[in-house]
Amino acid sequence: MNVYADALVNGILLGLVYGLAAMGLALIWGVMKVINLSHGAFITLGMFLSYVVFESLHFPPYISVFLAIVVGLIAGVITYFTALHRVLNAGELSTLLSTYSVSLIIVGILMFLFATTPKALNLGMNIFTAKIIAAAFSFVFSLVLYYFLYKTDTGMAIRAVSQHPDASKLMGIDTVKILAFSFGLGVALAMAAGNLISMIFPFSVLSGGLYELKSFVICVIGGLGNPLGAIVGGIVLGILENVFGLFVNQGIVPFVEFTILLLILLYKPQGLLGGH
């Protein structure tokens, strides 16, 4: 495999994992119109859940990822009722500050427990194999989310609330439960992504911020509020990082990524796949 094909394959594999990380952010924005600034902290929480389970029980991340989904769903629902529900209609600044506070609490607790020392999992496999496994799980989770949103009653209720909350309430949908579940689902996706990322890269308590920024870029590329667009955006970003990085210094790649973010916001704000 030549170096360009290798970079392309690596970009697609990594992009699928990036896409999974961004799907939670896109889902929460699409349903609740909330920019979740605790997204990166929950990704970090998924990384450290993977670390603790691997070190204590020797379960690899592709097994503990299911635990991450359950823990993330519960943590997301609790976070919704404790930090978001009361301020949901109080304006964007209130929800921004509320989710940012949640982020600070999570990072503070993790820093108390693990300090900022980088961690890495010794899984006994090479990086390329780890990328294939992580990408395969991301792809399957994306298909499951698509089926859930478009083929189940709860999924259709989520889509209805995202499009017209008041009409959904008149149709008998319990919008509070749907919003809480949607936030929990978004957090579960973030923690699952963090769990899978821990297979590929070293991480620390502060790693989530980087993936949160990538998630914002991916959401804008794929379409704000479109979870499936996040997969497309993730693949675009992954290919850009790996292929474009062959021609320029890697330090320039983030500059290019955020330039693309700015151009899309200016000239195609609905993203490649639109907002729904």
Would you place residue 270 in the very low, low, confident or very high pLDDT band (cuts 50, 70, 90)? Answer: confident
Copy the structure tokens of residue 143.
Answer: 């298909």
Cα(189)–Cα(210) distance, rounded to whole angstroms?
Answer: 17
Predicted pLDDT of residue 102:
95
Going by C-alpha positions, the residue among 48, 50, 43 that lies closest to residue 66 is 50
Q: Could you tell me which of 28, 25, 46, 8 has the C-alpha nearest to residue 191? A: 46
Confidence of residue 274 (pLDDT cuts 50, 70, 90): low
Digit-coded pLDDT (tens) for 229-246: 888 888 888 888 888 878
- In angstroms, the CA 276 to CA 267 distance is 18
Among 65-79, 107-121, 159-173, 222-236, the range scoring the smallest mean pLDDT is 222-236
Q: What's the average model confidence in pLDDT over 146-159?
A: 91
What confidence score (pLDDT) does residue 129 get?
92
* Residue (of 79, 210, 193) closest to 142 by Cα position: 193
Among candidate residues 114, 139, 140, 125, the one with its CA nearest the CA of residue 199: 125
First to last CA, the chain: 38
pLDDT for 163: 85
Tens-place pLDDT, residues 167-185: 888 888 899 999 999 999 9
The gap from C-alpha 140 to its chain's centroid, in whole angstroms, comes to 15
60's CB contacts (< 8 A; 6+ apart) are 54, 121, 123, 199
Q: Mean pLDDT in the chain?
A: 89
Q: Say what the pLDDT of residue 71 is.
A: 97
Residue pair 162/30 in contact by the 8 Å Cβ criterion:
yes
**Percentage with pLDDT > 70 across the chain:** 98
Residue 276 has pLDDT above 60, yes or no: no
Q: What is the pLDDT of residue 228?
A: 75
DSSP assignment letter at 245: G
* Cα 143 → chain centroid: 15
Overall average pLDDT of the 21-38 stretch: 89
Whether 94 has a pLDDT exceeding 60, the answer reads: yes
Residue 41 — very low, low, confident or very high, per pLDDT cuts 50/70/90?
A: very high
Q: pLDDT: is 21 or 42 the higher one?
A: 42
Percent of the chain with pLDDT over 90: 50
Contact 225, 239 (CB under 8 A): no
pLDDT bracket for residue 275 (50, 70, 90): low
pLDDT of 227 reads: 72
Distances (CA, A) of 192 to 20, 44, 47, 90, 135: 8, 10, 8, 30, 12
pTM of the shown model: 0.91
With bands split at pLDDT 50, 70 and 90, how would you rate the model's confidence at 91? confident
Mean pLDDT within 110-135: 91
What are the pLDDT digits (tens) for 179-205?
999 999 999 999 999 999 999 999 999
Give the Cβ contact number of residue 96 at 10 Å.
15
